[in-house]
Amino acid sequence: MFPESFIANLNKELGEDADRLLAALDGEPSVSVRYNSAKEQPKEGLRKVAWCEYGRYLEQRPYFTADPLFQAGCYYVQEASSMFVEHLYRQSVGEQQGVRLLDLCAAPGGKTTLYSSLVGRDGVVVANEVIRKRVMVLADNVMRWGAGNVVVTNNDPSHFGSLNEWFDVVAVDAPCSGEGMFRKDHAARDEWSEDNVKLCAARQRRILEDVWCALRPGGVLIYSTCTFNRAEDEENVEWLVENFDCEPIHIDMPEEWGVVRSEASGVECFHFYPHCVEGEGFFAAVLRKGGEPSHHRSPKPRKNPFADLPRQSVAELSAWVANPSEMVFKQVGENCYGYYSATFADVRQVSEQLTVVHSGVCMGQIFGKKLRPDHSLALFCEVNRRDDVEVDLATAQNYLARRDVDANLFTEGINLLLFEGVAVGWVKRVGGRVNSLLPKQFAINNLTAPILD
């Protein structure tokens, strides 16, 4: 059952279409994934998500957790409607190089991994999550994706004021009342109330106000929610236009996609209704920040987390990546990290101002003169494939479950375990024994269900 006030609001907004939407919300949700083109191309025969180059629909939902390719970051299980931010990015940002992008409300990481693919290795994504427990999930998903161009932070939106006019793109997938998830999450129906909608709308405005100064003039704001109501959607866009210098951006989009256009103070808005598109409820709007740069001074560093490494250590780390001349290696705490040279200055500036949980590629720790590689390095898209060993599905799953694997498959020392040509993780053979280097938080328990074919 749906809350009566929710039904009344839909009838007011959608008229006769409200019944069609309600019927769709009682149906079965679609299943979709987005492939990581740096690791694997989409499988043949899968239907394409029209607005996302590497998005695909599945006919049924397999047990993703047991799939070594999922664990290796070959694809991300992402709701199709939310992939629409790729189309908005391509239309509003285009082929701009060296993009600094803030994904403000980033956990669990679906849009973060998408943005990291879009900005490329000469861009940087700052993925923020205010809740500590959720930020660790975000960091794990970023490591699986392996792009190496993401900084994961754990800050309140107000903290980004120190990076005044620093970002080219700010994406705010705002915490909301969750109406668009009613089909997938029936508990959300019980939690819904008009008071909660008002509370969410006020919180969304506070978030937008806090982060507006971090967007440079001429930069792009992508605002999205998973709700249908105007209070959290169009009315917040209207509030932005009334209170800040905003300019509309025209987005080309085929009508056959089924996305419903609306308008808020001259800004184009987009609604995904489950009875019109193959996806869950979603709202998005994109606009450009007006005005002129303030020519402010860069903020003074609050801290310097990076330490230089001895030349010998740099040489050791260089041997573990495919393009070492394009990377910078630093010590952060007990671990060594790798960063793309083109964006390290940006990573440094963010790290000097905010609370960073993960950044770049965690290479591991050097003991004596040798690196003990971190799991993050195994999943890095540009890991050097040395001492790699291809294994079958059963062996890969046993590894992921931290069970014993056949020592005869591996050479003495550290090996990179591959499944279908994709790096899954490290093992170390010592005599007749194999030690798994898989962190406990990545271990899986249930291997009985079928995986994605």
Residues 331-385 have pLDDT tens digits of 999 999 999 999 999 999 999 999 999 999 999 999 989 999 999 999 999 999 9
Which pLDDT does position 192 carry in this prediction? 93
Which pLDDT does position 176 carry in this prediction? 95
| CA 416/CA 334 separation, integer angstroms | 23
For the stretch 144-177, pLDDT in tens is: 999 999 999 999 999 999 999 999 999 999 999 9
331 is a domain residue: no
Which pLDDT does position 111 carry in this prediction? 98
**pLDDT surpasses 80 at 24:** yes
What pTM did the predictor assign? Answer: 0.95
Closest CA relative to residue 77, chosen from 452, 389, 344: 452
72 is a domain residue: yes
**Mean pLDDT in the chain?**
95
8 is a domain residue: yes
Question: Which residues lie closer than 8 Å to 345 by C-beta, 6 or more apart?
Answer: none
CATH of residue 207: 3.40.50.150
Which pLDDT does position 35 carry in this prediction? 98
For the stretch 68-127, pLDDT in tens is: 999 999 999 999 999 999 999 999 999 999 999 999 999 999 999 999 999 999 999 999
70 is a domain residue: yes
Point out the residues that are catalytic: 226
Could you tell me the pLDDT band of residue 296, with boundaries at 50, 70 and 90?
A: low
199 is a domain residue: yes
Q: Tell me the average pLDDT across 405-416.
A: 96
For the stretch 52-67, pLDDT in tens is: 999 999 999 999 999 9
Which pLDDT does position 297 carry in this prediction? 63
Q: Tell me the average pLDDT across 415-423.
A: 97
**pLDDT surpasses 80 at 451:** no
Of 405 and 302, the structure prediction assigns the larger pLDDT to 405
Q: Structural domain of residue 262, as residue ranges?
A: 4-289
Q: Report the number of distinct structural domains present in the chain.
A: 1
For the stretch 178-230, pLDDT in tens is: 999 999 888 888 889 999 999 999 999 999 999 999 999 999 999 999 999 99
396 is a domain residue: no
453 is a domain residue: no
Q: Tell me the average pLDDT across 246-264.
A: 97
Angle at which helices 84-92 and 110-119 pack, to 10 degrees? 30
For the stretch 358-367, pLDDT in tens is: 999 999 999 9
Pairing, β 413-419 against β 388-390: parallel
Which pLDDT does position 408 carry in this prediction? 96
26 is a domain residue: yes
Closest CA relative to residue 222, chosen from 240, 242, 198, 203: 240
Contact status, residue 159 vs residue 186, Cβ threshold 8 Å:
no
Which pLDDT does position 12 carry in this prediction? 92
